[in-house]
Amino acid sequence: MTFSFDAYVTAAHFDRAGRAAFALGDGTVRFESGESVEAHDGAVLSACLPPKGEGLLTGGDDGRVVLSTPAGAQEIASLPGKWIESVAASAESGLIAFAAGRELHVRDPADPAFARVFAHEKSAADIAFDPKGRRIAVATYGGVWLWYARIADQKPVILKWAGSHIATCWSPDGKFLVSAMQENQLHGWRVADEKNMRMGGYPSKVRSLAFMSKGALMATSGANGAVCWPFAGATGPMGKQAAEIGYDEAAMTTRIAARLDRTWLAAGLDDGRVWAADVTGERLVPLKSEKGAAISALAMSPDATRVAWGDEDGNAGVSEIA
């Protein structure tokens, strides 16, 4: 199943109803079932699943956070004049968070009166809830800041590392935090003692991170294949080497998708191709062999049987992993 949307594909997700949903640069959210929702007056900049229910939560350059379902769009928050560069939600705590400029905003859909705003010295590039939905990590210049989501007045824990941090994620056990940097490298911390982990050796910028295999592996883009770091044990990847799956000297991976409880991962390349692989047997399955614009969005279904992809030219599709 393929689509031509004529707009940059910002994100792809499978919602809780099992549908593929695509967030686009023209402000729409498109569902594989055919519905098109006018979510934003401008481009969609970020997207995630809502804390519960179906549909897609998006942030736009119109300053709005919107929940889109096939039935239509519902505004969750509005900050006129701001860009919503990152959105995150936690099924565990029911909270929604979004970044606008130097501010992190936290809202509770179940309590319209609840709102928290946390300020940073530099722009907040990416945000991520911890596994329990209680703390939020914010990637920014000079490191990652950690906030308790519900506490109004607090000093953040600052995990410092020089440089610009552009993406972040927690390990599923909450013990490690990893960030992708403007340079061609990752940086990690063991949260309990703030011990640093340097994770370099990438030929290009890492834009996509995903944990899989019940947290034993973290897969990333940024190389000629999918780079898989071992996270089993108390020390995580410290002192360990990463493995690379699907090495292809002719292309770089731009996006990775995986599911936490599965051993399959999918990779999107800068020449438009998409493949999936089972890391236990290193079986590689081509999903999109035709070359084209770089893959800009990628998602794997919860049962790891389907992959949704989108590219910079507005082409998209849903492929079965045979």
Q: Is the pLDDT of residue 8 over 90?
A: yes
Beta-carbon contacts of 114 under 8 Å, excluding residues fewer than 6 positions away, are 106, 107, 108, 150
Which pLDDT belongs to residue 233? 81
Q: Is the pLDDT of residue 198 over 90?
A: no
Which pLDDT belongs to residue 265? 97
What number is the average pLDDT over the span 24-51?
97
Q: What is the largest CA-CA distance in the chain?
A: 53
What number is the average pLDDT over the span 90-109?
97
Q: Are 15 and 49 in contact (CB under 8 A)?
A: yes
Which pLDDT belongs to residue 131? 97
Which pLDDT belongs to residue 197? 87
Superfamily of domain 2-320: YVTN repeat-like/Quinoprotein amine dehydrogenase (2.130.10.10)
Q: What angle do CA 317, 321, 322 make, to 5 degrees?
A: 125
Distance of CA 152 to the CA centre of its chain: 26
Pick from 88, 270, 239, 273: nearest CA to 167: 88
Q: Looking at this protein, which amino acid is placed at residue 216?
A: A
What number is the average pLDDT over the span 14-23?
96
Return the domain boundaries, the chain.
Answer: 2-320
Please state, for a pLDDT cut of 90, what percent of the chain lies above it: 93
What number is the average pLDDT over the span 64-68?
98
What number is the average pLDDT over the span 60-66?
97
Which pLDDT belongs to residue 43? 97
Backbone angles phi, psi at 218, to 5 degrees: -120, 120
Which pLDDT belongs to residue 173? 94
In three-state secondary structure terms, 106 is strand
Q: State the pairing for strand pair 186-190/176-181.
A: antiparallel
DSSP letters, 269-281, are ETTS-EEEEETTT
Residue 98: which pLDDT band, with cuts at 50, 70 and 90?
A: very high
DSSP letters, 12-40, are EEE-TTS-EEEEETTSEEEETTS-EEE--
Residue 237: which pLDDT band, with cuts at 50, 70 and 90?
A: confident
Q: Are 128 and 180 in contact (CB under 8 A)?
A: no
Q: Are 299 and 258 in contact (CB under 8 A)?
A: no
Please state, for a pLDDT cut of 70, what percent of the chain lies above it: 100
Average pLDDT, the chain: 95
Residue 82: which pLDDT band, with cuts at 50, 70 and 90?
A: very high
What number is the average pLDDT over the span 215-221?
95
What number is the average pLDDT over the span 166-183?
95
Residue 60: which pLDDT band, with cuts at 50, 70 and 90?
A: very high
Q: Looking at this protein, which amino acid is placed at residue 320?
A: E
Q: Is the pLDDT of residue 282 over 80?
A: no
Residue 204: which pLDDT band, with cuts at 50, 70 and 90?
A: very high
